[in-house]
Amino acid sequence: MPPQPHRPATLAWQVFRGSDAVRRGLLTRHQLRGASWIRLLHDVYADARLDRDHRLTCQAALLRLPPTAVIAGPSAAYLHGVEHAASFTDEVHVLVPREGRVGSHTGIRVHSADPVEAGPAPVPIGASPASATVGAGLRPVPVGLGRRPVPGRAAATATPDTTTATVSPTAATISPTTASPNPTTASVGPTAARAASGASGRGGRSTVIRPASGAGCRAGGGGPIPTSDPARAAWETAVWLEPVRAVGIVDTLLREGLTSRDALAVVADEHADRSGGRRARWVFDLADPGAQSPPESHLRVRLVLAGLPRPVAQHPVRLPGGLILHPDLAWPDYRVAVEYDGQWHADAEQLHRDRYRLNQLVAAGWLVLHVTSRRLHRDFLGVAREVRSALFARGWRHP
């Protein structure tokens, strides 16, 4: 039989600093290089049974940063439930106070920020009461434990700016595995948090109290992760990412009900005078919660950036028999529609239903174009040219 992997109970299902584990005698440097552990960042390791996703890299990043750091932007959007916002190998976006002077770290994109006066404390993602003790001197830091994040609200402690430290992402790519949770980090409600730390909160939102790091091994448990709330994460994403990708993330935040147009308007007003404020408003204006997938969002935005009139996502078209169809993108005034054919169209039965539906749309006088994933990524200029010709044939003229 193969030898059993050496996993001290203290480090099972954890993210931890390798140097701390070696100093405490839990592992040797040779054992750290074994198959039981995965290296996430410099001196940060994790139980190899944990899922390889962006949540895990967020938890690793927290062990390289001061307790005032907040997961932000697309990384926060991922933790709120937008799975396409970031991947395991993407950089973790974090906000830190400007006076914190945090240097760059490989795999972490550090954004400096100014504190918000009387702002709410960070709100945890996936908070749960502590059910285990990591050990004396351990610093609990949130860890993803093979489970998808539960969408929820959080509040950042800082107002984001666009000053960043640019670093390269981690390059490791390993197939994910599923693990069982072993939570070790506690979260407390706002009343207890204020009593313990003297911090103020808003609206009864819960607050995280991070235990001070000691001289022992710093490990992570299945507790909460401090993040920007969904609306603020949308603003950060709009400012930090290129617009096509940013709009796709904001579309999903809106579609899933994680934020709203009103909330986006509020955060845009709050940051109107900050660097990136105009860009964020522009991205918010391009967002459409009707988009059913990131590629549909990307196609819509790229067509607009190509100078075409803005299409409507999932516009309802009532046919003479009473059936209502919803093409992916539509220009109702010109009766032109575009359908994005993604990988799911490989299903024969779905393809049959889809083509039958679109044939009815054509019979009703609509001009329907199809765009595949390959053409979106390899021949977008040709796609834009075809859509422009179709609109021109139906009476559209460039202003």
The pLDDT tens digits of the residues spanning 108-135 come to: 999 987 654 323 445 566 543 333 323 3
Q: Is residue 1 part of a domain?
A: no
- Whether residues 212 and 65 share a domain: the answer is yes
Domain extent for 268: 239-289
Order the strands of the 108-115 sheet from edge to edge.
123-125, 225-227, 70-71, 92-97, 108-115, 158-165
Say what the pLDDT of residue 354 is.
Answer: 74
Q: What is the DSSP letter of 153?
A: -
- Whether residues 20 and 91 share a domain: the answer is yes
Say what the pLDDT of residue 3 is.
Answer: 62
Q: What single letter denotes the amino acid at residue 373?
A: S
- Give dist(CA 214, CA 146) in Å, integer: 27
- Whether residues 362 and 275 share a domain: the answer is no
- Whether residues 27 and 106 share a domain: the answer is yes
Domain total for the chain? 3
Q: Is residue 169 part of a domain?
A: yes
- Whether residues 284 and 323 share a domain: the answer is no
Say what the pLDDT of residue 165 is.
Answer: 45
- Whether residues 277 and 377 share a domain: the answer is no
- Give dist(CA 253, CA 83) in Å, integer: 11
- Whether residues 281 and 348 share a domain: the answer is no
- Give dist(CA 120, CA 254) in Å, integer: 23
Answer whether 107's CB lies under 8 Å from 86's CB: no
CA distances in angstroms from 8 to 12, 31, 36, 368, listed in the order given: 6, 11, 10, 61
Residues 6+ apart with CB under 8 A from 172: 38, 39, 40, 89
- Whether residues 171 and 305 share a domain: the answer is no
Radius of gyration (Cα) for the chain, nearest Å?
24
- Whether residues 321 and 183 share a domain: the answer is no
Give per-residue burial for 364-385: e unless 16+ CB within 10 Å, then b.
Answer: eebbbebbbeebbeeebeebbe
Answer whether 220's CB lies under 8 Å from 130's CB: no
Say what the pLDDT of residue 126 is.
Answer: 56
Q: What is the DSSP letter of 354?
A: H
pLDDT digit string (tens) for the chain, length 399 residues:
566 678 999 999 999 999 999 999 999 999 999 999 999 999 999 999 999 999 999 999 999 999 889 999 999 999 999 999 999 999 999 999 887 677 778 999 999 876 543 234 455 665 433 333 233 223 333 333 333 333 343 333 444 554 444 333 333 332 333 333 433 333 223 333 333 333 333 333 322 323 333 333 445 555 688 999 999 999 999 999 999 999 999 999 999 999 999 999 999 999 999 989 999 999 999 999 999 999 999 999 999 999 999 999 999 999 888 889 999 999 999 999 999 987 655 566 766 677 777 888 998 999 999 999 999 999 999 999 999 999 999 999 987
CATH of the domain at 355: 3.40.960.10
Say what the pLDDT of residue 347 is.
Answer: 67
| Structural tokens at position 38 | 């995965």
H or E segment and range at residue 313? strand 312-313
Say what the pLDDT of residue 114 is.
Answer: 67
Long-range residue pairs from 387-394, CB within 8 A, at least 24 positions apart, any chain: 387/303, 387/308, 387/336, 387/338, 388/306, 388/308, 390/336, 391/308, 391/309, 391/331, 391/334, 391/336, 393/367, 394/331, 394/334, 394/335, 394/336, 394/367
- Whether residues 375 and 279 share a domain: the answer is no
- Whether residues 82 and 26 share a domain: the answer is yes
- Whether residues 281 and 309 share a domain: the answer is no
Q: Is residue 114 part of a domain?
A: yes
Say what the pLDDT of residue 155 is.
Answer: 39
